[in-house]
Amino acid sequence: MTNDSLMPGVPSAPPRQVGSPAPDVPDSPLPEIPGTGVLRQGDSGHGVYELQVRLLQVPNVYDGGAIDGRYGTELRAAVARFQEWYGIRGDETGVYGDNTRHALMLRTK
């Protein structure tokens, strides 16, 4: 405890360690942030799961679709339908690329 605090018997700040080693920095690159990058049929993981959840928020695009983190034919068809209905260009049909991602993020939570 320090005597220079505003309240007697309460330290003003935690003690600082001088000469502490720097935190370990991984040698390998950091993993990709979930939900970024291009997703296509055959992919799986958290990014695909998030895509499925968002597509279910858009009426009649992925109604009754699975939320299993796998990009199968049903999900590809839903992405293609979303692209067609909302006039999204620049991504391959049925592929969740930057333009499709941007449009879907604007319409969902």
Between CA 105 and CA 103 the distance in angstroms is: 6
Between CA 71 and CA 86 the distance in angstroms is: 21
Between CA 39 and CA 42 the distance in angstroms is: 9
One-character DSSP codes across 7-33: STTS-SSPPPPTTPPPPP--SSPPPPP
pTM of the model: 0.68
pLDDT in tens, 45-90: 999 999 999 999 999 999 999 999 999 999 999 999 999 999 999 9
Q: At the topology level of CATH, where does 46-107 sit?
A: Muramoyl-pentapeptide Carboxypeptidase; domain 1 (1.10.101)
pLDDT in tens, 13-57: 445 555 544 444 445 443 444 446 899 999 999 999 999 999 999
Task: Specify the pLDDT at position 32.
Answer: 41
Nearest to 101 by CA among 34, 38, 44, 53: 38
